Amino acid sequence: MKLSIIIPVYNEEKNIEELYVELKKVLDNLSINYEIIAVNDGSSDNSLAILEKIAGYDFNFKVIGFRKNFGQTAAISAGIDYANGEVLILMDSDLQNDPTDIPRFLKEIGRGYDVVSGWRKNRKDKFLTRKIPSWLANKLISFITKVNLHDYGCTMKAYKSEAIKDVRLYGEMHRFIPAYTSWHGAKIQEIIVNHRPRKYGKTKYGISRTFRVILDLLTVKFLTDYSTKPMHFFGRIGFWLFSFGFISGALALFLRFFKGITLIQTPLPLLTVLFVVVGVQFILMGLLAEILIRIYYESPQKTTYLIKEKINFDK
């Protein structure tokens, strides 16, 4: 298997068949082995029935059906887990990503890049509610991760299988995959893709998603720098709090014995106690985090999704 196309689907009944036709036209002209993996993320409309119908006459079209809606990241994670391709291309099911861009992604992969990320330079979305929050989020993500991309939010990306298979995804973290892979030595390229206006249905994501992305970004930063040494993070904060407590206590004693200012006349004794107590708590959190990290690495792998059915996959 050369190529796997992974498509998360959530309530896109009007778009699925048209997307399938466009994909088949492009992929059949490439003359390579391929599979299309559509992951139905608990759709409440007729999406699953349409996917099943297509899978009934095209054995290259595979369907994973979730028991309920687990989110886009979980859908992408499932597609990656079950993909057989040497190259994996992710794309949305809303027809805004253009399948004719696929050969360009494959060309860049062929040039030696491990990850090729799409850039919706001429994005066909609302300015205030989609473009502005996305621009701010991309700047923030690039600053924190030190991996500079114009468009982390573009689902259409290509990956070499070995660069992505071991990446575990949670929350809204699918957009951070390029950063994950870069931290592990992957070569990243960014190309401008054709972004089309939504034809049917409405977007599932609003400005509130930006705040969830920011919270996930903090998690990503912590996991990247301290996933195997959380005590270094919590212990450092505890150490600084102890230091502030020592300084505060020393200043209170100095004022008491050299300036005649009693301990009850300043807030310094209370600050000393506060800093020391919170410092102890941070060190204890570090110890608990160390225990949890060991449990995580020693426990069996668990998925973030539950599958109800699979179609056209080998048993």
- Provide the b/e sequence for 98-107 (b: ≥16 CB within 10 Å): bbebbebbbe
* SS3 label, residue 194: coil
Q: What is the mean pLDDT of residues 281-285?
A: 89
pLDDT at 73: 87
pLDDT at 207: 55
Structural domain total, the chain: 2
Q: Is the pLDDT of residue 127 over 70?
A: no
Pair (269, 177) in one structural domain: no
pLDDT at 49: 94
Q: Is the pLDDT of residue 218 over 70?
A: yes
Q: Is the pLDDT of residue 130 over 70?
A: no
Q: Is the pLDDT of residue 206 over 60?
A: no
Q: What is the mean pLDDT of residues 7-13?
A: 93
Pair (249, 157) in one structural domain: no
Residue 303, domain member (yes or no): no
Residue 308, domain member (yes or no): no
CA distance to 77, 218, 235, 242, per residue, from 171 (Å) = 11, 12, 26, 34
pLDDT at 296: 66
pLDDT at 209: 61
Pair (54, 182) in one structural domain: yes
Q: Is the pLDDT of residue 205 over 60?
A: no
Query: E strand or H helix at 5, and its extent?
Result: strand 3-9
Residue 307, domain member (yes or no): no
CA distance to 9, 27, 91, 129, 269, per residue, from 66 (Å) = 10, 26, 18, 29, 57
DSSP-derived pairing of the beta strands 34-40 and 157-160: unpaired
pLDDT at 221: 73
Pair (52, 158) in one structural domain: yes
Pair (217, 268) in one structural domain: no
Share of the chain above pLDDT 90, in %: 40
Pair (48, 176) in one structural domain: yes
Q: What is the mean pLDDT of residues 182-207?
A: 79
Pair (177, 85) in one structural domain: yes
Residue 306, domain member (yes or no): no
pLDDT at 56: 92
Nearest to 179 by CA among 127, 236, 140: 140
Pair (288, 213) in one structural domain: no
Q: Is the pLDDT of residue 125 over 70?
A: no
DSSP-derived pairing of the beta strands 157-160 and 3-9: unpaired
Pair (202, 273) in one structural domain: no
pLDDT, one tens digit per residue, over 63-111 is 999 999 988 888 999 999 999 999 999 999 988 899 999 999 999 999 9
Q: Which is higher by pLDDT, 233 or 204? A: 233
Pair (243, 215) in one structural domain: no
Q: Is the pLDDT of residue 195 over 70?
A: yes
pLDDT at 106: 95
Say if CB 209 and CB 172 are below 8 A apart: yes
State pTM to two decimals.
0.77
Which domain does 251 fall in, by range? 230-298
Q: Is the pLDDT of residue 253 over 60?
A: yes
pLDDT at 266: 85
Residue 149, domain member (yes or no): yes
How high does pLDDT run on average in the chain? Answer: 85
Across 100-114, 133-147, 228-242, 258-272, the highest mean pLDDT is recorded for 100-114
Pair (130, 194) in one structural domain: yes
